[in-house]
């Protein structure tokens, strides 16, 4: 079980992972040692998996291709979807993999440097897998918002400088 | 030309005005001078108002406000604050809490009636009371008591002419809160001297340590209290101008006449936004409160470390640090901080004489802006011989 302060710390980290320990301690009215031991515990428990920046590559004109591939698969007796999922997520170009309810089973997100690379991933790596029954590939055209962050930020403060 | 109203002409413009004009001319100002949330109104609320516009809800509403909205307000008051009001006869939807205060005082006061105003206080209180013919009798909250109101201080200023007492907890500008027991002592005075109570509860949702107590829930208070509340602070809707009064029918009936002739009704589109805000309150308010609490914790600690002794405010989004040890007046301090470091705060004396020696610094701004403000305040404070106050949390 995790305390409400621990959960609040996780929420804060998820939103502002770059904050220093002293600031985290001040925000939560705890001392720095407590924050450090909480962080250590989260890491050991596999709850805190890492920190990374949210980069808007669209601004830099780097023409990476992101594809969302809907995959229908035949589950294996006793193992369900886990075996085939593992075979898929081990490919380094796979950036995300979800088991889905609905019209298909797995959603594979891959990042590649060209359409051609995506095509070869699907035809050479994904489709030949025994359990894979069919694939439908969609390409991302533009990111508006990702993980709660707007890609065209509207940060201008519209308030007056001083109000009662 | 004949002269204008003596009363209005002799009224002082708000003390905030001068700083506003000064700050407007400067660039790269980090503003801690803002008395409103830094959140933008939640999208679903904006969208609801947009849909109402699309559907053509452009006519007047009932004088007291859309009945659906009044019903939702009644539900909110009951669920959130445990006090029951009849939507048909005890609630009025107003254009902001300020207009709610205006109709309350116009309905309550006869010329010369005294209203006890708890200071430091919001800048509009005094002028609103005077324009309604009343006389302001200030009673100061003491810094050494964390700006909580002392019962005996109140009793000392009660006279035969005292008609009402005006309270605002959590307080703008001090952020002070009063718990149920502390408020009960004030309630006893209201009963003892047969006073009306106007309780401005606009910051009710923004309490960080103790649960909020609506004054109307205290013994014998429901029928002598006019609760003022609104959407500005809890739902980040300041520019919408939407508030409400909750009061027994005997006074609501009279306030409604003032409202009817002076305002007709609150803007209908805005009322639809308010309805959506109340219906979705569980979705937004707790997250905003959590975020304010975190920033309060950081900011109070940081001000104390920067050498500005600051009590821990239990609510609202204001810090009210003491600047006495700098040897400057509140206005000198605020002006120099603005000119030398481009940080805008509001001098405490703008909120009444008892605010002298303090400044109001709002932490309703981004964490990054708060950190920048603290860096600048640190630098500014170097010129004074001050020491950091350690550990405001304990």
Q: Are strands B114-119 and B135-140 parallel, antiparallel or unpaired?
A: parallel
Give the distance from residue B102's alpha carbon to the nearest chain A alpha carbon, in angstroms. Answer: 16
Range of the domain at B97: 43-280
Do B11 and B143 belong together in one domain? Answer: no
B1 domain residue, yes or no: no
Stretch among A33-37, A83-87, A111-115, B15-19 having the lowest mean pLDDT: B15-19
Q: What are phi and psi of B89, to 5 degrees?
A: -130, -5
Do B86 and B126 belong together in one domain? Answer: yes
A94-127: per-residue pLDDT in tens? 999 999 999 999 999 999 999 999 999 999 999 9
Do B327 and B185 belong together in one domain? Answer: no
- Cβ within 8 Å, pair B16-A159: no
Do B228 and B371 belong together in one domain? Answer: no
Query: Looking at the 3D structure of chain B, how many domains does it have?
Result: 2
Do B119 and B263 belong together in one domain? Answer: yes
B388 domain residue, yes or no: no
- Integer distance in angstroms from the first to the last C-alpha of chain A? 44
Look at residues B265, B280, B295 and tell me which one is the last residue of a structural domain.
B280
Q: Which H helix or E strand runs over B16?
A: helix B16-24
The predicted pLDDT at position B173 comes to: 97
C-alpha distance from residue B236 to each of A162, B54, B177, B233 (Å) = 16, 23, 20, 5
Give the distance from residue B153's alpha carbon to the nearest chain A alpha carbon, in angstroms. Answer: 26
Provide the residue ranges of all domains of chain A, joining segments of one domain with +: 4-44, 57-142
B45-99: per-residue pLDDT in tens? 999 999 999 999 999 999 999 999 999 999 999 999 999 999 999 999 999 999 9
Q: Tell me, what CATH number does B341's domain have? A: 3.90.1150.10
Do B76 and B197 belong together in one domain? Answer: yes
Of A118, A156, A108, give the one whose Cα is nearest residue B369.
Answer: A156
Look at residues B280, B306, B330 and tell me which one is the last residue of a structural domain.
B280
What mean pLDDT is predicted for residues B10-18?
82
What mean pLDDT is predicted for residues B345-370?
96
Do B91 and B178 belong together in one domain? Answer: yes
CB B93 within 8 A of CB B171: no
Q: Largest Cα–Cα distance in chain A?
A: 68
Q: Which residue has the higher pLDDT, A153 or B335?
A: B335
Do B353 and B259 belong together in one domain? Answer: no
B175-216: per-residue pLDDT in tens? 999 999 999 999 999 999 999 999 999 999 999 999 999 999
Interface test with A, best of B23, B34, B120 (most A CBs within 10 A): B34
Q: Which residues of A lie closer than 8 Å to B, measured between beta carbons?
A: 8, 11-12, 16, 19, 23, 26-29, 157-164
CB A13 within 8 A of CB A48: yes
pTM of the model: 0.92
The predicted pLDDT at position B394 comes to: 40
Look at residues B243, B261, B280 and tell me which one is the last residue of a structural domain.
B280
B238 neighbourhood in chain A, CB within 8 Å: 163
Do B132 and B216 belong together in one domain? Answer: yes
What mean pLDDT is predicted for residues B357-372?
96
Q: Tell me, what CATH number does B237's domain have? A: 3.40.640.10
Q: Which residues of B lie closer than 8 Å to A, measured between beta carbons?
A: 14, 16, 19-20, 23-24, 29, 31, 33-36, 38, 40, 122-124, 172, 238, 290, 294-295, 297-298, 301-302, 344, 346, 365, 367, 371, 393
- CATH hierarchy code of domain A57-142: 3.30.70.920
B241-297: per-residue pLDDT in tens? 999 999 999 999 999 999 999 999 999 999 999 999 999 999 999 999 999 999 999
């Amino acid at each position: 079980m995790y305390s409400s302060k621990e959960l609040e710390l996780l929420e804060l980290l998820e939103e502002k992972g770059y904050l220093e320990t002293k600031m985290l301690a001040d925000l939560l009215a705890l001392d720095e040692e407590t924050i450090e031991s909480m962080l250590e515990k989260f890491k050991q428990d596999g709850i805190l998996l890492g920190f990374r920046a949210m980069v808007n590559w669209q601004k830099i004109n780097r023409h990476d291709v992101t594809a969302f591939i809907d995959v229908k698969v035949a589950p294996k007796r006793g193992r369900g979807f886990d075996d085939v999922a593992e075979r898929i997520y081990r490919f380094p170009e796979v950036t995300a993999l979800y088991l889905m309810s609905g019209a298909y089973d797995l959603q594979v997100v891959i990042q590649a440097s060209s359409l051609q690379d995506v095509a070869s991933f699907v035809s050479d790596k994904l489709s030949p897998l025994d359990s894979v029954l069919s694939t439908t590939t969609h390409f991302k055209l533009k990111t508006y918002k990702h993980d709660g962050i707007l890609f065209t930020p509207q940060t201008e403060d519209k308030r007056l400088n001083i109000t009662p | 030309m004949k002269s204008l109203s003596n009363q209005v002409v002799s009224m002082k413009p708000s003390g905030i005005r001068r700083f506003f004009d000064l700050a407007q001319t400067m660039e790269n100002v980090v503003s801690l001078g803002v008395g409103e949330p830094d959140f933008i109104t939640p999208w679903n609320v904006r969208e609801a108002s947009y849909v109402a516009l699309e559907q053509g809800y452009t006519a007047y509403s009932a004088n007291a406000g859309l009945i659906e909205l009044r019903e939702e307000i009644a539900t909110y008051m009951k669920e959130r604050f445990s006090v029951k009001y009849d939507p048909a006869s005890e609630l009025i939807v107003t254009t902001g809490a300020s207009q709610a205060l205006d109709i309350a005082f116009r309905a309550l006061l006869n010329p010369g009636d005294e209203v006890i105003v708890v200071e430091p206080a919001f800048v509009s209180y005094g002028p609103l009371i005077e324009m309604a013919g009343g006389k302001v009798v200030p009673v100061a909250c003491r810094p050494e008591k964390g700006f909580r109101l002392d019962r005996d201080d109140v009793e000392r200023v009660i006279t035969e002419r005292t008609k009402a007492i005006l309270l605002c907890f959590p307080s703008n500008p001090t952020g002070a809160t009063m718990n149920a027991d502390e408020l009960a002592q004030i309630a006893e005075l209201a009963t003892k001297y047969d006073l009306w109570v106007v309780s401005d509860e606009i910051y009710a949702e923004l309490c960080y340590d103790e649960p909020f107590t609506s004054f109307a829930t205290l013994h014998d208070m429901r029928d002598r209290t006019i609760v003022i509340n609104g959407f500005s602070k809890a739902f980040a809707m300041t520019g919408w101008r939407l508030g409400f009064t909750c009061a027994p029918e005997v006074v609501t009936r009279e306030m409604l006449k003032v409202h009817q002739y002076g305002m007709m009704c609150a803007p209908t589109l805005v009322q639809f936004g308010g309805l959506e805000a109340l219906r979705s309150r569980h979705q937004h308010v707790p997250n905003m409160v959590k975020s304010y609490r975190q920033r309060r914790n950081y900011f109070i600690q940081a001000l104390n470390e920067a050498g500005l002794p600051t009590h821990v405010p239990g609510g609202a989004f204001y810090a009210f640090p003491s600047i006495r040890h700098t040897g400057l007046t509140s206005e000198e301090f605020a002006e120099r901080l603005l000119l030398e470091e481009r940080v805008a705060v509001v001098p405490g004396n703008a909120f009444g004489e008892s605010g002298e020696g303090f400044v109001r610094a709002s932490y309703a701004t981004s964490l990054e802006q708060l950190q920048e403000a603290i860096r600048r305040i640190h630098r500014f404070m170097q010129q004074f011989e001050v020491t950091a106050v350690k550990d405001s949390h304990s």
